[in-house]
Amino acid sequence: MIKTMSEYKFEKLSFWQLLENRSVEIPIIQRDYAQGRAKKEKVRNDFLDALKNALTGDPVELDFVYGSEVNNFLQPLDGQQRLTTLFLLHWFIANKEGKLDEVKERLLKFTYETRTSSREFCQELVSKSIAYENLLPINEGKEITTENQLSETIKNASWFVISWKNDPTISAMLIMLDAIQAKFKESSDWWQKLTETEEDECPITFLYIKLENFGLSDDLYIKMNARGKALTPFENFKSRFEKHIKENGWEKEITNPQETFAHKIDTVWTDLFWKYKEKIERIDDNGEVSIEYKIDDRLTNFITGIAINYYAQRLEIQPDKDDEEKTRKELEQKSRTKNITENAVKRERIERRMITLFNNPDEIIPSDFPTKESFEYLVQCIDIYTKSSYTELKPDIDLWKYCEETLFKDIIQNKKAEWQNRAIFYAQTIYLLNADFDERSFNDWIRVVRNIVENSTIDSSATFVSAVNLIHELSNGCSNIHEYLSTNTVNAGHAEYQVKEEIEKAKIIIENPDAKQVIHDTEDTSFCKGKIDFALYCTDYDVENPNSTAFNKGKSEKILLIITDNFVDMETKLSDDFKRAFLTIGSNDYYEVWGTWSWSFDSHKRWLLGKNNDLKEFLLSKDWKRDYLKELFTQLVDKNTFKQIIDDYIVPSNMPNWKQRLIKEENLLNSATFILIPNDNSYCKLAWQQRPSREDQVNKIK
């Protein structure tokens, strides 16, 4: 049965006595240290005056301090502010009287759980001393005054991390230390008074109550300490996940506490993500602006991203009979059959869970890592980005729309976190885990994945699973992807045709290393975007039948030149010269690519194309359209310009006059996107809008 507060016994202790048999850790849910805030000057001075008066002859009792103890670790429920000020006072006097080295072991038992930076600052402050005879000199009217001499000296110390200035608890501690310096700088021989062990001798005490059978839950803090703060979604996840790890015994073989998840998430991993902290400005009711820095969302986005990747890679999910039964019934209703397999239910649950996490990363829960292997995969992923500078890694290739800053930063900031971007980030991460980093092999690997992502559909959890399955298979050769592709069979079914092209390009590069540059340059064009089978086709190399003709580097370079000279921006309008030259090809009717009937003009309506991107209709086709465009490119190899093709074109005797005019007369086709041709083929009408209905909306050519 839980006791009421009145049933608890209390001890009268000094701060020094409190630390004798226990460590004190300010819990994460407590607010930041407030007595040192700039606006709390009166509160600060009144409290310090009371402490100083106690040391000079008027003892003070600082009311109740209570909290829960587990394994000799006290987490205060009330008393955080007073305990922190007492810690700073003890440090100041011990340091000033030259006692710090002999007492630092006990002072190190006071720490903060709220932020890694707060905890590390306390540790460094105690571990390092400040020589009072060597404080930074005062330069009145400038940076250092009598009011901030101590804090500026601390901030100038070699061990002080610049980013700590952004921690509100540290900022408040520094202000408090300056206030302590102002009031206690003339003191001497006060350390003995602070550390008296007899109950009635120490002039500064409080009543300590140890709360037994009280778990330090969120509700308890919020109910009993109105100044406490609610845990963020990430802090809730972190707390539950650490319990999840312990309950499953996933770290029982770890002997070094610094290698545990709980330690890393509060130290080295936090330091990593702190580089990418989110700045939040708030304005209170008085119009005053406060700035806070957060990394919770960054960590959440990364961990959720790894969970999504692992779901897709391993297709494992926590068993849940209720959810399994519900999913089965829904699938039966949807498919109108009772023959739903266990694998189908499992796959559906996984894909739904992935969608949930994709849409709301804060939904991450411990069971999203259902096995020791999934947990170890998470740790490996965070470690690999922590131990090296891979957070700033950016492939030396054009990733087009798939990367804004770096793949890592885009994911943790949720800037570019669509399914396609996640697939490339997965590829980067699996390379870092599996291969010794080499810039060349890394770029080759990401290039192949980029080409596959660009030229396949990855727009859902289902297609993402398919893509990850392929990338995971290919990662067996990520350290030399061209060698792997040219010598291995790829079993995954995703992006089958693009994979076939990647295999053929790899074989060309292995057999002709000097072909690599022209292949890569062609891939990088907006015209091809990783898919160069048409460019190869223009050199008579057929990806579908690669043994029919050898790769021709010279022809490939000429095709690349045509592309870079004429089709750099796919949103650029097709020129009059292009359309005229294109009308000289084949049976002079490239516009048959699309057609309908115009009742307004009693004519066939055909498409003249509008911009470079419209050529995708020809580029990606496998019928006559592809050959039309190839013929145009082939002529450009010899004649260099569209104008030369037009000038050299010999008009057939049976060609209608209107078509001759379209080819030979300049500017008739300018901006026209549709052509209307009657059944008797006696004239045409050019239109600039998709649905012309009046004669003033067309131009008749006879």
Cβ–Cβ under 8 Å, residues 167 and 115 = yes
What is the distance between the alpha carbons of residues 182 and 196, in angstroms, rounded to a whole number?
24
Q: Which tens digit of pLDDT belongs to each residue from 574-594?
A: 999 999 999 999 998 998 888
Q: What is the DSSP letter of 247?
A: H
| Residues in CB range of 472: below 8 A, 6 or more apart | 313, 430
- Grouping H, G, I as helix, E, B as strand and the rest as coil, residue 125 is helix
What is the distance between the alpha carbons of residues 47 and 53, in angstroms, rounded to a whole number?
10
What is the distance between the alpha carbons of residues 344 and 336, in angstroms, rounded to a whole number?
14
| Residues in CB range of 439: below 8 A, 6 or more apart | 396
pLDDT of residue 492: 92
Q: Which tens digit of pLDDT belongs to each residue from 635-666?
A: 999 998 999 999 999 999 999 999 999 999 99
Of 15 and 77, the structure prediction assigns the larger pLDDT to 15
Residue type (1 letter), 534: F
pLDDT of residue 126: 94
DSSP per residue, 45-89: HHHHHHHHHHHTT--EEEEEEEEEEETTEEEEEE-HHHHHHHHHH
Q: Is the pLDDT of residue 31 over 80?
A: no
pLDDT of residue 30: 67
Confidence bin at 1 (pLDDT 50/70/90): very low
Q: Give the pTM.
A: 0.73
- Grouping H, G, I as helix, E, B as strand and the rest as coil, residue 675 is strand
* End-to-end CA separation in angstroms for the chain: 101
What is the distance between the alpha carbons of residues 250 and 320, in angstroms, rounded to a whole number?
21
Q: Which tens digit of pLDDT belongs to each residue from 367-389?
A: 999 999 999 999 999 999 998 88
Percent of the chain with pLDDT over 90: 63
| Residues in CB range of 516: below 8 A, 6 or more apart | 509
Percent of the chain with pLDDT over 70: 93
Cβ–Cβ under 8 Å, residues 544 and 507 = no
Q: Which tens digit of pLDDT belongs to each residue from 116-138?
A: 778 889 999 999 888 877 788 87
- Grouping H, G, I as helix, E, B as strand and the rest as coil, residue 694 is coil
Q: Which tens digit of pLDDT belongs to each residue from 307-357?
A: 999 999 999 999 999 999 999 999 998 888 878 999 999 999 999 999 999
Per the listing, tokens 């900031």 go with: 413
Taking alpha carbons only, the member of 69, 68, 74, 100 closest to residue 15 is 74
Strands in 601-688 per DSSP E: 603-607, 674-677, 684-687
What is the distance between the alpha carbons of residues 486 and 482, in angstroms, rounded to a whole number?
6
Q: Is the pLDDT of residue 408 over 90?
A: yes
Q: Which tens digit of pLDDT belongs to each residue from 445-493?
A: 999 999 999 999 999 999 999 999 999 999 999 999 999 999 999 999 9
205 token code pair: 């005490």
Of 196 and 524, the structure prediction assigns the larger pLDDT to 524
Taking alpha carbons only, the member of 695, 674, 691 closest to residue 579 is 674
What is the distance between the alpha carbons of residues 317 and 237, in angstroms, rounded to a whole number?
18
Taking alpha carbons only, the member of 293, 26, 297, 288 closest to residue 167 is 293
Per the listing, tokens 């690349």 go with: 560
Confidence bin at 161 (pLDDT 50/70/90): confident
CA angle 363-168-127, nearest 5°? Answer: 105
CA angle 261-265-268, nearest 5°? Answer: 110
Q: Is the pLDDT of residue 224 over 50?
A: no
Q: Which tens digit of pLDDT belongs to each residue from 293-311?
A: 889 999 999 999 999 999 9
Average pLDDT, the chain: 89
Bridge partners (DSSP) listed for residue 205: 61
| Mean pLDDT, range 516-541, rounded to an integer | 96
Bridge partners (DSSP) listed for residue 671: none
| Residues in CB range of 159: below 8 A, 6 or more apart | 124, 128
Q: Which tens digit of pLDDT belongs to each residue from 600-616?
A: 999 999 999 989 999 99
Q: Is the pLDDT of residue 227 over 50?
A: no
What is the distance between the alpha carbons of residues 526 and 536, in angstroms, rounded to a whole number?
16
Half-sphere exposure of 45 (CA within 13 A, CB side): 6
pLDDT of residue 226: 39
Cβ–Cβ under 8 Å, residues 245 and 265 = no
Taking alpha carbons only, the member of 552, 528, 525, 527 closest to residue 541 is 552
pLDDT of residue 222: 39
pLDDT of residue 431: 98
Bridge-based pairing state of the strands 23-26 and 73-78: parallel
pLDDT of residue 548: 65
| Mean pLDDT, range 497-516, rounded to an integer | 96
CA angle 170-172-175, nearest 5°? Answer: 110
Taking alpha carbons only, the member of 504, 516, 525, 687 closest to residue 619 is 525
pLDDT of residue 292: 76
| Residues in CB range of 415: below 8 A, 6 or more apart | 404, 405, 409
| Residues in CB range of 362: below 8 A, 6 or more apart | 233, 234, 300
What is the distance between the alpha carbons of residues 62 and 139, in angstroms, rounded to a whole number?
38
Q: Which tens digit of pLDDT belongs to each residue from 59-104?
A: 888 888 888 888 888 988 888 889 999 999 999 999 999 999 999 9
| Mean pLDDT, range 243-266, rounded to an integer | 91
Where b means 16+ CB within 10 Å and e means fewer, 58-88 reads: eebebebbbbbbeeeebbbbbbbbbbbbbbb
Cβ–Cβ under 8 Å, residues 114 and 173 = no
- Grouping H, G, I as helix, E, B as strand and the rest as coil, residue 596 is strand
Half-sphere exposure of 696 (CA within 13 A, CB side): 0
pLDDT of residue 343: 95
What is the distance between the alpha carbons of residues 1 and 5, in angstroms, rounded to a whole number?
13
Q: Is the pLDDT of residue 502 over 80?
A: yes
Taking alpha carbons only, the member of 575, 609, 577 closest to residue 591 is 609
Confidence bin at 556 (pLDDT 50/70/90): very high
113 token code pair: 């759980």
DSSP per residue, 22-36: -EEEE-TTSPPP-TT
Cβ–Cβ under 8 Å, residues 75 and 216 = yes
State the helix-helix crossing angle for 419-434 and 296-314, rounded to 10 degrees: 80
- Within 10 angstroms of residue 176's Cβ, the number of other Cβ atoms is 25
Assign residue 78 a region: left if phi > 0, alpha if psi is -120 to 50, beta otherwise?
A: beta
229 token code pair: 């703060």
